[in-house]
Amino acid sequence: MPTRKLALSLATAAGGVPLLLALWAPAASARLVQPAVAIGAARTVAAPTYMVVSASAIASAAGRDVMAAGGNAIDAAIATGMALAVTYPTAGNIGGGGFMVIRMPDGRATTIDFREMAPKAAKPEMFTDSTGAYSSRIHHNSLMSVGVPGTVAGFALAHSKYGKVKWNTLVEPAVRLAADGFDVPKGLAASLGGAINGKFKNFPASVAAYSKSGTAYAMGERMKLPDLARTLERIRDNGKDGFYRGETARLLAQEMKRGGGLITEDDLANYVAKERAPVTARYRGYEVISMAPPSSGGVAMTEMLNILEGYDLAKAGHNSPQYVHLVVESMRRAFLDRARHLGDPDFSKAPLDRLMSKDYAAQLRKDILPDRATPSAPSQIVQQHESDETTHYSVVDASGMAVSVTYTLEAGYGLGAVVPGAGFLLNNEMGDFNGKPGVTDSTGLIGTDANLARPGKRMLSSMTPTIVAKDGKLVAVVGSPGGRTIINTVLQVVLNIIDFKMPVQDAVNAPRFHHQWLPDVISFERNGIAPTAVTALEAMGYRLRAGGNQGTAHSIMVDATGVRIGAPDARDADAGAAHN
């Protein structure tokens, strides 16, 4: 059936496939599905040489300026990430961690793992109370939920191996933003207003840092962060030792001791970021390069792509019942394997070769029925919560080097606790470890061994920074925040680009959906699946739930002439691309 287009040039569902269900009536093909998000300040931009796209237009400009001064994509990624710690505090950070995927101009690829680590006093039973019962408060909302931060070490490792300009020039823009201040943009003003009256209430240092004597900043008001500026100065002048040793480390460890946290100065001094080989999927002639464990993103997406390669998705129609059915069934199987097998590779060995093989995908396809949902059973596995509050940014330089970075504090503003005197927010990433050994139940707890807390271990993640190439040429840089939805958001952007040949902004704006094995429900963005398609899917045995926006996939595509096309996701109010 013919492809339709949404208002604002969003490509959307064409209509059903007759062999699927008569319930998907031909009249449905004429129904326009409204976009999941209004197109606001974020907009597509094109440039011949270099591009940065992030959740903060201010931070994107910091990365652009570094490349304008002779830096490469690694340098720009570090400058952008440091600036995001100032201008996008809900997820931008020096107190958290994440992953970086790098593709060189000659096609070689590598990754930097700077995921947080458990402190040396961590143990599998650490999230239980005095009675031995699991405690969600300890797991997610106490200083025991803070992992040893990895961002500064990860950036330092990337710079030492692949950077081009001096370290201090990369941190200086963030120092200036924090010390001199910046005009608070609309999205940050709204976000901080909620945090001041909510998450920050129990942390006086947080209220002091991010408000005017308890009053939230309004859009356009100038916000200065002097304590954070001094911490950034120490990082600028002393590299990673400016964070992991000396005054900053002392202040962080002091706050841990005061509030019952576990991180010591030794934990900080012993943190190590790692370079790891990427995961690469081969899909319809494209290379899809992503992150290996302790991120589950690359493995899960590879498994999904391998399954979906056996179907003609373009013929099914974007977000048609058959398309949603096939994609959901691939998601269901990959998320089950994620829960069963994946964790920190330094502590447990998952059968990655099997999970990512074409033969295994062919075996999984045999169990996918053409017109019926596969049930998910709690006895097989149960998924636990992972926060939606992360951020992603994409960079391409003039030489064609590409960098995809996803990093996080876990929940929005992490724990909500600013380190007194140091000015940065602490993560609550320990919440991504399983809650209690052996306890897997219908409430969302999971107790399998692969992701239990242990000293020096990195918690499992869903972050999926990704780079797409074909025939030796860079095609796209993508990624997203969104907790468990990250993998499925990135998957759908990739499918939109490869199977549906969408322009990158359409690929980013198109409505998205999510399934993660359990709960056994398809969540989808408002108006993202037509009512008749919902009816058809329900007749196949699916439960569906309409919800809010899913992810923010700030992406870059390179066209056939080499022009970089930046696509900020308008689901992020302050997003923007900076370029030349």
How is residue 138 written in tokens? 């300890």
Q: Which of 151, 231, 390, 485 is catalytic?
A: 390
For the sheet containing 473-478, what is the strand order? 45-47, 564-567, 555-558, 473-478, 466-470, 286-290, 279-283
Name beta bridge partners: 11: 5
Helix (H) / strand (E) element for 206: namely: helix 204-210
> 393 to each of 92, 345, 358, 536, how far by Cα in Å?
10, 25, 30, 36
Q: Is 390 a catalytic residue?
A: yes
What gap in Å lies between CA 573 and CA 493, rounded to an integer? Answer: 20
- Which one, of 430, 487, 30, lies nearest residue 297 by Cα? 487
How is residue 335 written in tokens? 């998320």
Report yes or no: 78 and 132 within 8 Å, Cβ to Cβ: no
- Residue identified by tokens 């500064």 is 152
What gap in Å lies between CA 34 and CA 331, rounded to an integer? Answer: 24
Report yes or no: 483 and 390 within 8 Å, Cβ to Cβ: yes
3-state helix/strand/coil string of 108-122:
CEEEEEECCECCCCC
Which amino acid is it at 32?
L
How is residue 542 written in tokens? 């699916």
Cα 128–Cα 134–Cα 138 angle in degrees, nearest 5: 60
Catalytic residue annotation: 390
